[in-house]
Each structure stands twice: as C-alpha cells, then as structure tokens.
Amino acid sequence: MAVARTRSVALVGVTGRTVEVEADVGNGLAGIHLIGLPDTALSEARERVRSAMVNSHYPWPDARITVSLFPASLPKRGSQFDLAIAIAILGAAGVVPAERIVEPFFLGELGLDGRLRPVRGVLPSVLGAAEHGDVTVVIPSANAAEAALVPDVKVVPVADLRQLVEWLRRGEEPPEALAQDLLDPIPSTAPPAVDLSDVVGQPVARRALEICAAGGHNLWMLGPPGTGKTLLAERLPTLLPDLELDHALEVTAIHSVAGVLPPNSPMVNRPPFVSPHHTASAAAIVGGGSTVVRPGAVSLAHRGVLFMDEAPEFPRHVLDSLRQPLESGRVTVSRSAGSVTFPARFMLVLAANPCPCAQPQDNTDTCQCTPVVRRRYLGRLSGPLLDRIDMKVTVARSSRRELMADRQFVESSKTVAQRVLVARERAAKRLSSTPWRTNAEIPSTALHAEYRPSDEAMKPVTACLDSGALSARGLDRVLRLAWTLADLAGKDRPDHDETATALALWLGVDT
C-alpha cells in the first residue's frame, strides 16, 4: 500500500495551471474519496475511473483510496482529470511504476470501457504544462493535432487506458513515429464560400468594409430590409488577411476552451466571424455558465468580426455589455467561483432597420411607423455604445440598373483584400515598436502624443469640436480612421482629405 503522485492541468479562463494529483491506497474501509474542490463532474470521475480500470482488466484495489488534487484553491472542473486520477491510483497500487508518472502530465476523460475521450482546452492546457520546460504530455489521440501546435513538448497521444499502461510499464521512449503522423497540424485552408463580388452596387458600404478591414474599425449599417446589410457584413472576413501565428494560437485556445474547434483542423488561422442571434442570453454573448465558465461570442470573435444583426432587437443590457470589451479588448466574467478574464478584441458590425415594422420606406412606402416609434427603436442602441462605433453608413436599396448590371466587373474579395493587406502592412510598420498592429488598437494617449495630424489637417475636426458635434471619444475614433484612410491612400500622414472623410464617416454617410 503506497502513495503515488502525478500531474495534470486545470484551466482558468484560457490559462493552463498545473494541478498535482496524489493517490493513497491504504488500510481502511474500501472506497474512494476525492479531495480538492471537486464539482459534480469530478465526483462522477470516481465512477468513470473505476469502470474504466475494471473494464481494462486492472484490479480495482480493495482498500481505502484517497485522491487529492491541489492546489485546493484552483477551481478544478470538468472531466479532464480522469486520466491523471486513474494513473495515480494505478501507480499507488503498483500496476505502473510510480516513479514514471511523476513528471508527465496526463489529460483526458475516460469512457467506461477505458477508451480516452477528447477534452476541451487542450491547446491552453499543453501551453500551461510547457511552462515547466521540456515536458511530456499524455493526451487523448483525438486531441493530438491540437496539442502538436505547441513546440518543444513531447506529446503522447493514446487511444485507451491499456495502451497507456503498457507504455508506462515497458519504460520506452514515447511512441514518436505514431505521434508524428497524427501530429502534423492541418491548417484550415478551406476557401471562404462567400465573396464581395456577390454584392452589386453599394459603393459606400463596400468602401466602409474595406476601411474596417484595413484598420480594424467598427461599423454600423442602417437601412431598410433587403438592402444587403447582412450580405455585406458576412463578407468582411474575406477581406482580412490570415491570422499571424501568435494571434492564431490565441484564437485557437479560446475556441478549444469553448469546445468549438473543428476536429480535423486544429489551428484557426482565419479571422472568425461570429453572429449571435438576438435571442441569445447575456452569458452566450459575454461568456458565463454556472459551473464551468465558457467564453462567449465576444471572445469567440477575438481577432475577427462580431456581427450583431438586427441590433436593436438585442436586450439593452446585452448591447451595453459590449462596452467593456470594445474599450479594453477583453472581457471579465464574474461568477461565484471567481472571476475569469477572456480576450475579446473584435471588429463590431451592427446592422439595424430604421424601424420595427420592417417595411420598405421608399416611394412604395408601406411603413406606418411614427417618428416617435422610429426614434424609440433606434434609441435601444445606447449613446455610449454608438460612441464606440467608428463609422455609420446608411444602406439604401440598390437601383434596378445596379442589380441588373454585369457582375463580372464587380470587384472581388481578393482584389480588395490585396489593398487591405498593403494598408495593414503600412500600419504595422509604423507601429512596429509598439504592441499594436492596427490603427483601431492605438490607445487615446498614444494617439494624441504621437499620431496627431498636422494643424492644417485637423481643421475639419476642430470646427466640429467647437460646435460640440464631436465628443472626446469621437475625436479619437476620427483620428484612428484618418490614419487608416492615409494607409489605404499610401500616404505617410493623414491630411485634410482624410480627416474630412473620417469625420463624415463617423457622423454618418447616406448613400
């Protein structure tokens, strides 16, 4: 009868923290006790571990088994500790050599038959383990490709408990050959199914999307039904370049924790597009959950686009909860178990009809809404939220001539994405000594200290500031937009033209 110790990883938000798992198989009434803040899933681990061991033909010790997970203060939730618990018990019972399980990390949920099931958050968990240097991490084979994204870690993918126990008993090196095959990360290279050339006419809205993509700005599209707002917004990601490696890892870690990674393409290397429905709960948008805190839509859209279609239909408190991430690029979710912070830097696109009746308001005018009703409808988008929007574009119905025009002359996403890339490279070069890569990320202080256009260029803005039409936050938005317009025009600094256009876009452009 003895004690054995091993390691696993707990997730706090998208950060992996080491958990020590200790098992003591000793004298006393036969039974198993788990210590260290177990929640329901962890208590169920007892049953899964017992069945998995018995069905893999290992004797279940007829003794008092105590399993302890620490630090006790870490909230340890979910089923990913099953494997470490089983291995610690097998070590204490002398089935596997106890000294061989001290160093490696074990992650995975056990099926009742001893098979290993994939778990969420493997990428951030392995990144957490990798902080200990050159480590070995044992994971379910279904998670192998995701774990392999972390360099300098020996990953041992296993299919079931028996396979793992045999490996530990034989004392060989990890099965590299098997591992390597499975480990080649498969980047998601599937071409996006939609293209900007699907949209005819709408030159102003198309240009607004290009500016959004180039500078990482937020956009509000206002217009009657059927004018192509949703069509346009869905095409914004096609204008964005692939994610750089560090950003791709951030996004993949969030998607992994949320459990939405597609099985065969572990690396998210395209900017995500997330479009929650207006009936979605606040927890689904900002993140939450009663036992396990999961990232919400704002975090799933990290480094990509969050599209709030029919924005006034969202409850006011949900819309207002976007204010914190829009300002700081992250979101803090507070729960009784503690608060968790997730990254949430996204481009926000809002779409809205001018009134709730969703009838055309052109010369066929069937809309009966009074001005008061219309005002109240759009009033659901609060001032502080709209203050954080860089551009407002009114989208009018395309003319018959536009809709009937030959579509082969319409610019494709590829052409526009090329201009966006050049503008982004200009901005990235200018910002190379800073932590920011796009103009939208430049904080207010730096903007005024280092990126102020000349007095001449500021003229259109000063007039608006004097009249009170432009708020302090609005001024920052206009300056950032002006820089993006300069980047798109290939200029070193914004001048009068760029600030005037930026101001017009901020105030709202009618098409």
Ligand X SMILES: Nc1ncnc2c1ncn2[C@@H]1O[C@H](COP(=O)(O)OP(=O)(O)OP(=O)(O)O)[C@@H](O)[C@H]1O
Candidates 201-209, 229-237, 427-435, 452-460; binding stretch for Mg ion (CB under 5 A): 229-237
Could you tell me if 83 and 217 are in contact, meaning their C-beta atoms sit under 8 angstroms apart?
A: no
Residue 244: DSSP 8-state: P
Quote the CA–CA distance of 453 and 438 in Å, as a whole number: 17
Alpha-helical segments (H) within 74-119: 82-92
Q: Work out whether strand 64-70 and strand 31-35 pair parallel, antiparallel, or are unpaired.
A: parallel
Contacting residue, 192, 203, 226, 508, with ligand X by CB under 6 A: 226
Query: How crowded is residue 425: how many other Cβ atoms within 10 Å of its Cβ?
Result: 12
Q: Applying CB under 6 A, what is the total number of residues that bind ligand X? A: 14
How many CA within 13 A on the CB side of residue 227?
28
Peptide bond into 203 cis (omega under 30): no
Instruction: Supply the minimum distance, in Å, between the C-beta of residue 458 and ligand X.
Output: 36
Q: What tokens does 432 get?
A: 């190379």
Within 175-194, which residues bind ligand X (CB under 6 A)? none
Query: How crowded is residue 81: how many other Cβ atoms within 10 Å of its Cβ?
Result: 31
Candidates 57-65, 221-229, 326-334, 428-436; binding stretch for ligand X (CB under 6 A): 221-229
The verdict on 136 binding Mg ion (CB under 5 A) reads no
Q: Applying CB under 5 A, what is the total number of residues that bind Mg ion? A: 1
Within 335-394, which residues bind ligand X (CB under 6 A)? 353
Within 385-424, which residues bind ligand X (CB under 6 A)? 398
Q: What tokens does 300 get?
A: 């799933």
Closer CB to ligand X, 357 or 421, in the complex: 357
Q: What tokens does 393 get?
A: 């574009």
Burial of residue 265, with CB atoms counted within 10 A of its CB: 0-12 exposed, 13-18 middle, 19 or more buried:
middle
Distances from the Cα of 169 to the Cα of 115, 164, 485, angstroms:
18, 9, 64
- Provide φ and ψ at 252, rounded to 5°: -60, -40
Within 230-269, which residues bind ligand X (CB under 6 A)? 230-231
Candidates 169-177, 219-227, 255-263, 385-393; binding stretch for ligand X (CB under 6 A): 219-227
Closer CB to ligand X, 309 or 495, in the complex: 309
Contacting residue, 108, 228, 304, 494, with ligand X by CB under 6 A: 228
Site string for Mg ion, 309-328 (x = CB under 5 A): --------------------
Dihedral sign of CA atoms 22, 25, 28, 31 in order = positive
Quote the CA–CA distance of 50 and 159 in Å, as a whole number: 18
The verdict on 501 binding ligand X (CB under 6 A) reads no
Candidates 136-144, 223-231, 384-392, 450-458; binding stretch for Mg ion (CB under 5 A): 223-231
Contacting residue, 66, 227, 256, 361, with ligand X by CB under 6 A: 227
Quote the CA–CA distance of 156 and 130 in Å, as a whole number: 14
Instruction: Supply the minimum distance, in Å, between the C-beta of residue 396 and ligand X.
Output: 10
Closer CB to Mg ion, 218 or 501, in the complex: 218
The verdict on 230 binding Mg ion (CB under 5 A) reads yes
Instruction: Supply the minimum distance, in Å, between the C-beta of residue 221 and Mg ion.
Output: 9
Instruction: Supply the minimum distance, in Å, between the C-beta of residue 447 and Mg ion.
Output: 33
Candidates 48-56, 133-141, 195-203, 369-377; binding stretch for ligand X (CB under 6 A): 195-203
Residue carrying structure tokens 């968790």: 340
The verdict on 275 binding Mg ion (CB under 5 A) reads no
Residue type, 364: T
The verdict on 51 binding Mg ion (CB under 5 A) reads no
13 CA to centre of own chain: 12
The partner in contact with residue 97, picked from Mg ion, ligand X, none with C-beta cut-offs of 5 to 8 angstroms by kind, is: none
Closer CB to ligand X, 226 or 263, in the complex: 226
Residue type, 448: H
Contacting residue, 217, 229, 270, 430, with ligand X by CB under 6 A: 229
Q: Work out whether strand 273-274 and strand 305-308 pair parallel, antiparallel, or are unpaired.
A: parallel
Closer CB to Mg ion, 230 or 394, in the complex: 230
At 307 the three-state DSSP class reads strand
Contacting residue, 65, 147, 200, 381, with ligand X by CB under 6 A: 200
Instruction: Supply the minimum distance, in Å, between the C-beta of residue 286 and ligand X.
Output: 24
Candidates 83-91, 198-206, 452-460, 484-492; binding stretch for ligand X (CB under 6 A): 198-206
Element (H, E) at 510: strand 509-510
Closer CB to ligand X, 93 or 222, in the complex: 222
End-to-end C-alpha distance for the chain, whole angstroms: 80
Give me the residues that bind Mg ion (CB under 5 A), please.
230
Which residues bind to ligand X, rule: CB under 6 A?
Answer: 199-202, 223, 225-231, 353, 398
